Amino acid sequence: MPATSSKTPDTRGLAGQTIGDTSVCSVNQTQLIYRGYEIADLAAHATFEEVAHLLLVGHKPTAKELEEFTTQINESREVCDGILDVIERIASEPTVHPMAILRTGISMVSHQDPECEDNSPEAEARKSIRLLAKIPTLIGACQASRDSRSRVAPDSSLSHAANLLWLITGEKPSEIAAKVMDISLILYAEHDFNASTFTGRVIASTNADMHSAVCGAIGALKGNLHGGANEAAMDMLQCIMDDTKDSEMSVDEWMTRAFEEKRKLMGFGHRVYKNGDHRAGILRGWGLRYCEENDPSKKCWFDLGDQVQAVMLRDKNIHPNVDFPCGMTYFAMGIPVPQYTPIFVASRITGWCAHIMEQHANNRIIRPLAQYVGPDLMNWTDS
């Protein structure tokens, strides 16, 4: 008989399994492609609004289409005071995570959307724009409450990225800050069947509405093994900085101890990108550029990150993913760490909605099988 391998591939978490078709995005070892356009090309030449149109509408916009699309976003940014007041009251409790607050905000917004229960393609296209427009407003209300200041209204003269920063900080962003945020939103906009997108598609496959699917996707993104990794990566760097500052412990020694303690070091490794996440280098470059133009003192975080990255590559042969430079970049920009993952939502909402619409357009309920590994059949009266 032919020899068989005793080692069965580990398919937990659906690793290596193809579970559906999509025209939205392609991810492989060397490329990340949004509807035919590679991510480096988009980061170098497109704006986030253009990428949002590409994902939600399905093609690169003409100048007229982009103008109309941008106008629709600008006109949909307002959220009623009643909802924002609730957001601020919840946010006043410091133990509540901003992702949980944003999830609640999306649920409340759904009750005032007249097309919430309409899953037609036309209604979903309109709902996706409204969600894209309102999410920064919800994030801004949350942060204003945390900062004990009055919230500001959306500014229709600002781009999506600049408006997001304005709402979070209450200050008009510099040109370089808006550009760096725009780049980060492009890089985070879409990533095929990742955990949160798959969650959204599973919910959509039951014929649930778009808002319900988005709430589920936010819940999935909240975890530190997914969207919350950028927060965890920055927390790790802050810990390293504190432990090595004014002490004889080197970064190399800190990392060696972490390896010995089998600590999970966040911002490294990827299920697909075994040779490095090509988004990471793009965002690192823009983060450094922000420091050079705006605050050179913050470059110390990138210097520390480079040391950590070198040790990980040398000792574990593991490359950073995009969450690693994201943490440093947002920190350099003065963005509160708990808002990193909500900012992710302000970008990924485009990919989520594109997938939800694609699922509804050619739907079959997602219902995989499970392999039972419990006890054999028993008789209740015999035990």
Active site residue 226: yes
Active-site option among 270, 278, 319, 360: 270
The arrangement of strands across the sheet holding 25-27 comes to: 25-27, 32-34, 37-38
Question: Facing residues of 33 across strands?
Answer: 26, 38
Active site residue 270: yes
Residue 40 CA, chain-centre distance (Å), reads 18
Question: Hey, how many other C-beta atoms are within 10 angstroms of the C-beta on 92?
Answer: 12
Phi-psi domain of 317 (left: phi exceeds 0; alpha: psi -120 through 50; beta: other): left
Question: Facing residues of 38 across strands?
Answer: 33
Active-site option among 182, 209, 277, 323: 323
Active-site option among 155, 226, 243, 306: 226
The burial class, CB within 10 Å (0-12 / 13-18 / 19+), for 1 is exposed
Catalytic residues: 226, 270, 323
